[in-house]
């Protein structure tokens, strides 16, 4: 899945918007280019989540090696659009809607995940934890922004899994993955824990 770093903005909850724009098929070179552009954004952009003092020693975000086994075309089962209230890193709550579900086959394990949506936003929001959380990856979990389903299917590329902004600074309020999206298997792709 090819992603491009587009003009970014921060919403009222301190989440980065407009970073991942899905436009086609990803190869390793394009993924590396995307990651380099993200590093440049974190280092130079006024809306970078990094505190100014952290930028002096910033040498780039850390990632797993590209994992082609975690680029998955999956069926999307429509959700019931019921509300789900999610806790945030600063003790508040946010409301999302259950827009659909997908099921991963990781090793011998089938792992269902709930795709969330918010009014006015196309596509899906997928916050998740996995067995690497708190070890190799950020303890509170990671996010994926996904395009709308096409003919009932979606490509989920975990190489684009990213940390919420609260991984870099306590000044942000970040949605914590709901228990239904806590995986018992490792997702060894995407962003690793930020090295302060």
pLDDT at 54 over 90: no
Contacts with 80 (C-beta within 8 Å, 6 or more apart), sequence order: 98
pLDDT at 17 over 70: no
Quote the tokens at residue 159: 């190489």
pLDDT at 8 over 70: no
Average pLDDT over residues 18-25: 40
Cα 123 to Cα 99, 105, 106, 110, 191: the distances in Å are 9, 22, 24, 23, 21
Residue 102: half-sphere exposure toward Cβ, Cα within 13 Å: 26
pLDDT at 134 over 50: yes
Q: To 10 degrees, the CA torsion angle through 177, 178, 182, 187? A: -30
Look at residue 57 in the predicted model and tell me its pLDDT: 85
CA separation for the pair 79, 145 (Å, rounded): 17
CB distance 157 to 187 below 8 Å: no
In terms of pLDDT, which residue wins out, 124 or 9? Answer: 124
Q: By percentage, how much of the chain surpasses pLDDT 70? A: 86
Look at residue 26 in the predicted model and tell me its pLDDT: 54
φ, ψ of residue 30 in degrees (nearest 5): -65, -35
With CA atoms as reference, report the closest residue to 16 among 53, 56, 45: 45
Look at residue 150 in the predicted model and tell me its pLDDT: 93
Q: What spatial distance separates the first Cα and last Cα of the chain, rounded to whole Å? A: 29
Exposed, middle or buried: residue 53 (CB in 10 Å: 0-12, 13-18, 19+)? exposed
Q: Express each pLDDT in 77-132 by its tens digit.
A: 999 999 999 999 999 999 999 999 999 987 788 899 999 998 888 899 999 999 99
pLDDT at 67 over 90: yes
Look at residue 196 in the predicted model and tell me its pLDDT: 61
In terms of pLDDT, which residue wins out, 34 or 6? Answer: 34
């Amino acid at each position: 899945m090819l992603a491009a770093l587009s003009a970014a903005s921060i919403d009222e909850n301190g989440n980065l918007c407009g970073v991942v724009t899905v436009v086609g098929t990803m190869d390793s070179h394009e993924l590396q280019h995307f990651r380099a552009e993200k590093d440049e954004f974190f280092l130079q952009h006024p809306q970078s989540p990094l505190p100014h003092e952290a930028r002096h020693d910033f040498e780039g975000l850390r990632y797993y090696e590209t994992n082609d086994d975690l680029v998955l075309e999956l069926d999307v089962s429509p959700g019931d659009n019921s509300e789900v209230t999610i806790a945030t890193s600063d003790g508040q709550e946010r409301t999302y809607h259950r827009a659909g579900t997908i099921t991963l086959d990781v090793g011998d394990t089938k792992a269902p995940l709930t795709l969330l949506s918010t009014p006015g936003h196309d596509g899906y929001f997928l916050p998740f934890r996995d067995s690497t959380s708190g070890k190799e990856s950020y303890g509170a979990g990671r996010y994926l922004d996904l395009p709308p389903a096409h003919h009932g299917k979606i490509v989920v590329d975990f190489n684009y899994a990213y940390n919420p902004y609260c991984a870099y600074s306590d000044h942000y309020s970040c949605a914590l993955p709901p228990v239904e999206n806590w995986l018992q298997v490792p997702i060894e792709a995407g962003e690793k824990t930020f090295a302060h």
